[in-house]
Amino acid sequence: MTLTEKAWKIFNESINDYHTTDNVNAEIKNPYPSDTLDHLLYRKNWIDTVQWHLEDIIRDPEIDPVEALSLKRWIDKSNQERTDMVEYIDSWFLNQFQSVEANPNAKINTESPAWAIDRFSILSLKVYHMKEESEREDASFEHQEKSKEKLSVLLEQKEDLSTAIEDLISDFKAGIKKMKVYKQMKMYNDEDFNPVLYKK
């Protein structure tokens, strides 16, 4: 099983586990050992899945403003957790490739493996929910057909992104590309760097 095949399987496992309760407050029950990439992938997608539903909830036009602010804070926290998980996954890859001697003319990729996997995780959620829309019994025939068309595009994206990730991993293994990761260094969540916070 390739990396992307395994990731897709784990992402869908996480999504299905979430939807057994369909509750943003549900407790995560990660089935994988904590020292494995599988554990990180499951955790990453669970964060994405909860945030997906938080983003749905906060768009309710009749939402109570106090609740909306609370949800916004939750989404901000979730975004930071998402970034942290990407960095953990990249650390795993850095460890995997540390013994590879890069070619003298090896180039750096525009995004790290984990950020590509982040996109792959979000794509798994898009596929899941677009499939749901294409099968919605209370939706119009036109809505179902439009959803099927979009689902087809998303599945094509899945194949393309999967191929690109596998190619990138192969390039790292062969030393054709060298891995270099920069921390995101988000400033708005840090009270030392956000002027609204440090001027309080």
Domain boundaries, the chain: 3-198
Instruction: Judge contact between 186 and 80, C-beta under 8 A.
Output: yes
Query: Which residue ranges in the chain fall short of pLDDT 70?
Result: 184-193, 196-200
Cα dihedral 103/180/50/67 (nearest 10): -160
Residue 191 confidence (pLDDT):
67
Residue 176 confidence (pLDDT):
94
DSSP state of 108: E
Residue 102 confidence (pLDDT):
86
Residue ranges of alpha helices (H) inside the chain are 3-18, 37-58, 65-97, 113-134, 141-174, 195-198
pLDDT for 137-187, tens place per residue? 999 999 999 999 999 999 999 999 999 999 999 999 999 998 877 776 666
Region for 47 from its dihedrals, namely left if φ exceeds 0, alpha if ψ lies in -120 to 50, beta otherwise: alpha
Residue 94 confidence (pLDDT):
92
